[in-house]
Amino acid sequence: MIKIAPSILAADFARLGSEAEEVRAAGADWLHFDVMDGEFVHNITIGLPVLKSLRRHTDMFTDVHMMVTRPRRYAGRFCELGADMVTVHVEADEPVEIIKCLQEIHAYGRKAGLALKPATPGSVVLPYLEYLDMVLVMTVEPGFGGQRLQREALTKMRGVRALIDQYKPGCLLEADGGVNEETAPLVADSGADVLVAGNAIFAKSDRAAAIAALRMAADVRA
């Protein structure tokens, strides 16, 4: 079954604990936690102390998306503070450092993911697959919520899905950016297992209805 992961980038940061609990009660599966360093992307969001505080308010499965240069510097700290999954960008460091980072995340007993920006070809995941629990395909340029999904990313998702099915069955595929009721069927049909949605959930007053609508729209593949 498709998992729905609300991105707290679109939440009210001053009320993060209650926002998280609200989407959990509304039927969300995971919480997507977007970390931006102002260098890998042109935006700065939240980091270690916010995860630490949030952990006091929710034990929801938290998927930390690190849009951070040289993520190995901080990935272990996110694990220590209770991230359930840490996803790093393949473009953020040399391959050897990325592999060490993925191994370190596993050494903490957490799940490890690899994210791809829109311009990065899907085939780059191949040498990393053995270290991965998830591949995150960015369906918008990382840095900001509320953008339109790039249709070209769907073709790439299909390619990544085929590689996963062939070489690492069980590895999840996550779509991130511009996922809403209209685009959910497209990403689900392209092989996504996990749908990240920021504005399509947090901008709505009825979060339960928003999550149910996304789930129903994505059901094409279920």
Supply the residues annotated as catalytic: 34, 176
Q: Which residue, 84 or 176, is less far from ligand DX5 as judged by CB?
A: 176
Q: In 3-state terms, what secondary structure has residue 76?
A: helix
Residue nearest to ligand DX5 (CB): 198
CA distances in angstroms from 137 to 35, 52, 203, 205, listed in the order given: 16, 27, 23, 28
Scanning the chain, the segments in alpha helix (DSSP H) are 16-25, 48-55, 75-80, 95-107, 152-167, 184-189, 199-202, 207-218
Footprint (CB under 5 A) of Zn ion, residues 49-108: 65
Strand 85-89 versus strand 111-116 pairing type: parallel
CB distance 137 to 122 below 8 Å = yes
In the shown chain, the binding pattern of residues 42 to 81 toward ligand DX5, with x for contact by CB under 6 A and - for none, equals -----------------------x----------------
Return d(Cα 89, Cα 98) in angstroms, integer: 8
Q: Is 83 in the site for ligand DX5 (CB under 6 A)?
A: no
Site string for ligand DX5, 191-210 (x = CB under 6 A): -----xxxxx----------
* Partner whose binding site includes residue 198, from ligand DX5, Zn ion, none (CB under 5 to 8 Å by kind): ligand DX5
Among 84, 174, 176, 193, binds ligand DX5 (CB under 6 A): 176
- Side-chain-side CA neighbours of 12 within 13 Å: the count stands at 11
The nearest distance, CB 36 to ligand DX5, in angstroms, is 7
- Told to check if 34 binds Zn ion by CB under 5 A, we report yes
Q: Does residue 9 bind ligand DX5 (CB under 6 A)?
A: yes
